[in-house]
């Protein structure tokens, strides 16, 4: 499959007439072939028109047809073969093993959503039968299902060029819900995006779906994204990226004549609390495991452990010694883009030059585009006095906050902004301390984990990859896991509809064999 640099608009591939750009090889900074051309306003218009045209047909595809389409997308991505991995390695600087794993995750995610679609639980079908004899007024027949919200704009993320990009979690959950997708390729991996986009396009054709179910637009800048979010046919937005980018999308969406939801996953320092008994028993082991999580993928994960909270003492000293020793031996690794590398260096330099911050250790130095890991420490007093210390440095840098006691840890947590994850390291003797912190964490984070680190986000049914603002734009949702489908649904109620006009999900004979709420109570499909 040759990479042509074209936009994929419905079934067509056409060269944009906007600014030309090239992908950059992350390891060298060299330009890669071919040239891509940014989409124009007319391309955005055409993609959105096709998406709107496809919407009524696509959202009413049978559950099985829609599931098979998601599986066809997964198969088509696998069928690209090694070309996808090779291109993605060049564009992202990420190693082969990681990208093969990420491809598996992306494909598995599409298949999980196929299962979610077949299950039909996401339709939340409800039936309140008529009560014609009720006094003083008869009760009408009322039935409810969830329907797709409309065409969705998806912005690819740079740090997961497969799993959070063109056919990543946002696209998979939107397509599962019945929403056409207009994806905006991330300019850091346009070739990877095109390859995956062509796979989706092929699956649309193979499954006989309306061409507007999927389009992919290229842009070196921000005008295509702005036009997409402003388009009246776009009903929701999925985004993973920087806080600045996410907030700009939120503001653009809120100021439309018809505001729409933006699901932006933005920034998080993912506090890790080391409780005293665990620290004393195995502080050194935790220190080594922490460095493994911190430096994984050059620290370029939303769930990277950027903040450590612990009470001073011998246990913490052991943790810091082991973590510093491990970090010092960590190889530098290529970062995703020169821009991300530059921002990382600036963030690290700011911490290094902060008089309230001590540099505990640095990893091995590397090449021009490689991130050098860093571990810093400060006091709770300094941390509470300086908001800048709570900001994310995207990459393998973390800050340890030395606290005089558990009450101070709690006070620091109460001052943090919304986060994706929080981790507690604890032993049995720490349970009371943990119990006191859990309510604080529940109010602030989307996922609480024990004796582990937030990196490695399981794609499952009980996953929340979300959290209160500014971790995300909307703490009521998740962007990973099966619950993500609910972002792209809205309920519609049907009152007194004749049987022949009812959607299949709501008919008396329940042809979709759904679990439904009958007068509020869950009822099995055989009932």
Question: Which residues 431-450 are close enough to bind a copy of itself by CB under 8 A?
Answer: 431, 434-435, 438-439, 442-443, 445-450
Residue 475, interface with a copy of itself (CB under 8 A)? Answer: yes
Residue located via tokens 């093993």: 97
Residue 419, interface with a copy of itself (CB under 8 A)? Answer: no
Contacting a copy of itself within 147-186 (CB under 8 A):
147, 149-150
Q: Tell me whether residue 138 or residue 404 sits nearer to a copy of itself (CB atom).
A: 138
- The angle at the Cα of 397, spanning 396 to 403, to the nearest 5 degrees, equals 140
Kindly state the smallest distance separating residue 128's Cβ from a copy of itself, in Å. Answer: 4
Closest listed residue to residue 373, CA positions, set 348, 397, 400: 397
Phi-psi region of 266 (alpha: psi -120 to 50; beta: other; left: phi over 0): alpha
Kindly state the smallest distance separating residue 390's Cβ from a copy of itself, in Å. Answer: 14
Number of residues that bind a copy of itself (CB under 8 A): 84
Kindly state the smallest distance separating residue 391's Cβ from a copy of itself, in Å. Answer: 14
Q: Candidates 2, 33, 132, 137: give the one binding a copy of itself (CB under 8 A).
A: 137
- Separation CA 285–CA 319 (nearest Å): 7
CA 296 to chain centre: 18
Residue 245, interface with a copy of itself (CB under 8 A)? Answer: no
Tell whether omega for the bond before 136 is within 30 degrees of 0, i.e. cis. Answer: yes
Q: Which window, 39-47, 71-79, 397-405, 473-481, contacts a copy of itself (CB under 8 A)? A: 473-481
Kindly state the smallest distance separating residue 143's Cβ from a copy of itself, in Å. Answer: 5
Contacting a copy of itself within 366-385 (CB under 8 A):
none
Q: Tell me whether residue 334 or residue 477 sits nearer to a copy of itself (CB atom).
A: 477
Contacting a copy of itself within 276-295 (CB under 8 A):
none
What length is written for the chain? 527
**Alpha-carbon separation of residue 242 from 111, 160, 248, 343, 473 (angstroms):** 28, 13, 10, 12, 11
Catalytic residue among 71, 211, 265, 392: 265
| Structural contact between residues 308 and 397, judged by C-beta atoms closer than 8 angstroms | no
Q: Tell me whether residue 147 or residue 332 sits nearer to a copy of itself (CB atom).
A: 147
Catalytic residue among 48, 179, 302, 403: 302
Q: Tell me whether residue 61 or residue 473 sits nearer to a copy of itself (CB atom).
A: 473
Q: Tell me whether residue 39 or residue 426 sits nearer to a copy of itself (CB atom).
A: 426
- Separation CA 90–CA 341 (nearest Å): 16
Contacting a copy of itself within 75-104 (CB under 8 A):
101
And the tokens for 49? 């028109």
- Separation CA 178–CA 164 (nearest Å): 19
- Separation CA 525–CA 527 (nearest Å): 5
- Separation CA 527–CA 519 (nearest Å): 13
Q: Candidates 30, 108, 139, 405: give the one binding a copy of itself (CB under 8 A).
A: 139
The binding track of 500-519 with respect to a copy of itself, each residue x by CB under 8 A or -, is: xx-------------x-x-x
Q: Tell me whether residue 15 or residue 490 sits nearer to a copy of itself (CB atom).
A: 490
And the tokens for 434? 């943990």
Q: Which window, 4-12, 143-151, 213-221, 319-327, contacts a copy of itself (CB under 8 A)? A: 143-151
| Structural contact between residues 290 and 501, judged by C-beta atoms closer than 8 angstroms | no
Q: Candidates 29, 140, 221, 339: give the one binding a copy of itself (CB under 8 A).
A: 140
Contacting a copy of itself within 478-497 (CB under 8 A):
478, 482-483, 489-497
Q: Tell me whether residue 101 or residue 366 sits nearer to a copy of itself (CB atom).
A: 101
Residue 243, interface with a copy of itself (CB under 8 A)? Answer: no
Tell me which DSSP letter residue 201 carries. H
Q: Candidates 81, 451, 508, 513: give the one binding a copy of itself (CB under 8 A).
A: 451
- The angle at the Cα of 406, spanning 404 to 410, to the nearest 5 degrees, equals 110
- Separation CA 307–CA 377 (nearest Å): 9
Q: Tell me whether residue 96 or residue 431 sits nearer to a copy of itself (CB atom).
A: 431
**Alpha-carbon separation of residue 236 from 43, 96, 489 (angstroms):** 19, 33, 10
Q: Tell me whether residue 250 or residue 309 sits nearer to a copy of itself (CB atom).
A: 250
Residue 418, interface with a copy of itself (CB under 8 A)? Answer: yes
Residue 468, interface with a copy of itself (CB under 8 A)? Answer: yes
| Structural contact between residues 59 and 167, judged by C-beta atoms closer than 8 angstroms | no
96-119 vs 63-80: helix axis angle to the nearest 10?
A: 170
To the query of whether residue 265 is one of the catalytic residues in this protein, the response is yes
Which H/E stretch holds residue 21? strand 20-21
Q: Tell me whether residue 169 or residue 475 sits nearer to a copy of itself (CB atom).
A: 475
Residue 303, interface with a copy of itself (CB under 8 A)? Answer: no
| Structural contact between residues 3 and 194, judged by C-beta atoms closer than 8 angstroms | yes
The binding track of 203-242 with respect to a copy of itself, each residue x by CB under 8 A or -, is: ----------------------------------------
To the query of whether residue 302 is one of the catalytic residues in this protein, the response is yes
| Structural contact between residues 44 and 215, judged by C-beta atoms closer than 8 angstroms | no
Percentages of the chain per state (helix, strand, coil), in multiples of 5: 45, 20, 35
Residue 143, interface with a copy of itself (CB under 8 A)? Answer: yes
Closest listed residue to residue 505, CA positions, set 261, 149, 147: 147
Q: From the CB of residue 350, how many other CB atoms can be counted at a distance below 10 Å? A: 14
Q: What are phi and psi of 399, to 5 degrees?
A: -120, 125
Kindly state the smallest distance separating residue 415's Cβ from a copy of itself, in Å. Answer: 12
The binding track of 49-68 with respect to a copy of itself, each residue x by CB under 8 A or -, is: ------xx---x--------
Kindly state the smallest distance separating residue 420's Cβ from a copy of itself, in Å. Answer: 10
- Separation CA 506–CA 127 (nearest Å): 7
Active site residues per annotation: 265, 302
């Amino acid at each position: 499959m040759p990479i042509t640099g074209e936009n994929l608009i419905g079934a067509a591939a056409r060269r944009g007439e906007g600014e030309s750009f090239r992908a950059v090889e992350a390891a060298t900074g060299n330009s890669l072939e071919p040239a891509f051309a940014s989409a124009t306003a007319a391309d955005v218009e055409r993609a959105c028109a096709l998406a709107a045209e496809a919407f009524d047909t696509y959202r009413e595809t049978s559950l099985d047809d829609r599931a098979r389409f998601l599986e066809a997308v997964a198969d088509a991505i696998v069928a690209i073969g090694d070309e996808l991995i090779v291109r993605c390695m060049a564009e992202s600087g990420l190693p082969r093993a990681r990208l093969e794993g990420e491809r598996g995750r992306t494909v598995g995610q599409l298949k999980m959503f196929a299962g979610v679609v077949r299950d039909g639980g996401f339709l939340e079908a409800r039936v309140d039968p008529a009560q014609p004899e009720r006094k003083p007024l008869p009760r009408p027949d009322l039935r409810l299902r969830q329907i797709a919200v409309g065409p969705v704009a998806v912005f690819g993320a740079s740090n997961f060029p497969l799993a959070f990009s063109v056919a990543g979690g946002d696209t998979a959950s939107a397509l599962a819900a019945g929403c056409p997708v207009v994806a905006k390729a991330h300019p850091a991996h346009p070739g990877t995006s095109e390859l995956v986009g062509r796979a989706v396009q092929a699956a649309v054709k193979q499954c006989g779906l309306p061409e507007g179910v999927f389009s992919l637009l290229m842009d070196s800048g921000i005008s295509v994204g702005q036009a997409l979010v402003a388009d009246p046919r776009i009903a929701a937005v999925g985004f993973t990226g920087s806080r600045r980018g996410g907030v700009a999308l939120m503001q653009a969406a809120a100021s439309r004549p018809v505001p729409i939801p933006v699901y932006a996953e933005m920034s998080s320092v993912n506090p890790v609390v080391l409780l005293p008994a665990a620290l004393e028993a195995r502080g050194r082991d935790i220190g080594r495991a922490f460095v493994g999580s911190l430096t994984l993928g050059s620290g370029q994960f939303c769930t990277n452990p950027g903040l450590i909270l612990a009470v001073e003492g011998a246990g913490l000293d052991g943790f810091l010694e082991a973590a510093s020793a491990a970090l010092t031996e960590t190889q530098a690794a290529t970062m995703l883009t020169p821009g991300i590398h530059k921002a990382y260096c600036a963030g690290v330099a700011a911490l290094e030059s902060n008089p309230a911050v001590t540099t505990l250790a640095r990893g091995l130095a590397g090449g021009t585009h490689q991130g050098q890991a860093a571990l810093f420490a400060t006091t709770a007093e300094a941390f509470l006095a300086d908001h800048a210390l709570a900001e994310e440095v995207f990459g393998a840098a973390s800050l340890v906050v030395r606290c005089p006691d558990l009450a101070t840890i709690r006070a620091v947590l109460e001052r943090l902004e919304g986060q994706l994850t929080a981790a507690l390291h604890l032993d049995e003797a720490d349970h009371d301390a943990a119990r006191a912190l859990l309510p604080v964490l529940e109010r602030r984070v989307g996922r609480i984990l024990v004796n582990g680190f937030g990196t490695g986000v399981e794609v499952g049914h009980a996953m929340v990859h979300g959290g209160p603002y500014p971790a995300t734009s909307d703490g009521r949702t998740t962007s990973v896991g099966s619950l993500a489908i609910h972002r792209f649904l809205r309920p519609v109620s049907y009152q007194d509809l004749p049987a022949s006009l009812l959607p299949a999900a709501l008919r008396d004979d329940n042809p979709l064999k759904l679990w439904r709420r009958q007068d509020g109570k869950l009822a099995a499909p055989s009932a």
